[in-house]
Amino acid sequence: MDKLELQSTCFENIKTLCTSYRKYSSSRKTEEYLNIRLSSFEEQWRDFEARNALLLLELEDKTIHYFSEDVYNKTKEMYLTTKTDLNNKLKYLKQQKHSVNFDLSDISVEYTQDCEDGKSEKIQQLLNKQECNFNAICHALSKIDIIRTSEKWELEDNFNILKSKWECIDKLHWEIDFQLKRSNDHYYRMYSDIEEKYDELRKQLQSKIWSNAHYQQSTPRMELPDFYGNYSKWNSFKDLFLETIHNNPTINKAQKMKQLKTKLKGEAESLVQHLSVCAENYNSCWDILVQRYDNRRLQFSSFFNTMMSLPVIHEPDANNLKKMHDIIK
């Protein structure tokens, strides 16, 4: 099956995903369903985009239906529209998940019967203030996406915001606790629920911050060689790039794209020169290079040509043998 047929199959898969998503009942679009659908959707699009770049290079006839009907841009528009809707629904579900409704209207009533008017009023003021604190930390919790956040500064910023919100709650809680003397189950349930959510996200943030810091400290600094499109040098370049850049969680995709294009020269640079330096193009750029150079047959041919181009050894002395070894090792 050639690339154009593969592209047609991929297009049909994307179209089917879009159609089935629109037809699927809103009540059944759970967070798990949306995450699975989004992952599958993005995987199909990466294949489609990378193959489009290869078709632009390899097909000289731009009058064929694929180019004349602008299939790529129309598919991209369909993909972006559906992806935006998916992300919006996911964001809404996460906000609903972290939102907590507080009905504190009857809290003070339980105590006004046994307390003086002045004390009852003070308790109500403290509860009103604590309700504002609860709403503030719930809003902060809903805005933190622990899965998509990878930058160290952003993780630390989220952690500090969350910590400051919790400190306000914790400080006021002990004053309320002294007044209520643990006799109001409703308030304490609310407090425990918020405390549990805070502790869970705090641990996740701290774990990710520590992982990033440990990665930076444990990873040795290595200078990447330039890659000119030589098949015999590809495996070495690929392994070094994967370890230092591609798999590094502390570097975002825009930085990875800049590092990659900086190290490409000659034929390899020309292969992806149409892709600008931005986060969206990183996966496509890397996929194009892998499809071109991660080819065992062509790697062997390159090595064989190197062997065949060795000069003839007229005198098999140690010096000539050493030169041959240095070339083919």
pLDDT digits (tens, 9 = 90+) for 3-13: 888 889 999 99
**Gap between the Cα atoms of 204 and 209, Å rounded:** 9
User: Residue 314 — pLDDT band, cuts 50, 70, 90?
Assistant: low
% of the chain at pLDDT higher than 90: 16
Dump pLDDT digits (tens) for 21-47.
Answer: 888 877 778 888 888 888 888 999 999
Residue 219 reports pLDDT greater than 70: no
Residue 73 reports pLDDT greater than 50: yes
**Dihedral in degrees, nearest 10, Cα atoms 125, 131, 134, 138:** -150
Phi-psi region of 112 (alpha: psi -120 to 50; beta: other; left: phi over 0): alpha
Phi-psi region of 128 (alpha: psi -120 to 50; beta: other; left: phi over 0): alpha
Residue type, 177: D
User: Residue 236 — pLDDT band, cuts 50, 70, 90?
Assistant: confident
Nearest one of 120, 131, 24, 7 to 69, comparing CA atoms? 7
For residues 99-118, one letter each, b for 16 or more C-beta atoms within 10 angstroms of the residue's C-beta and e for the rest, the string is eeebebeebbebbeeeeeee
Q: What is the mean pLDDT of the chain?
A: 81
Prediction pTM value: 0.36
User: Residue 111 — pLDDT band, cuts 50, 70, 90?
Assistant: very low
**pLDDT value at residue 110:** 47
Average pLDDT in the 212-218 region? 53
**pLDDT value at residue 91:** 85
Residue type, 243: E
pLDDT higher for 74 or 216? 74
Q: Are 250 and 152 in contact (CB under 8 A)?
A: yes
Average pLDDT in the 259-264 region? 91
**Gap between the Cα atoms of 117 and 132, Å rounded:** 23
**Gap between the Cα atoms of 70 and 81, Å rounded:** 17
**Gap between the Cα atoms of 14 and 34, Å rounded:** 15
Average pLDDT in the 65-92 region? 88
Dump pLDDT digits (tens) for 151-201.
Answer: 777 788 888 998 999 999 998 998 888 888 777 788 888 889 999 988 988
**pLDDT value at residue 150:** 67
**pLDDT value at residue 218:** 47
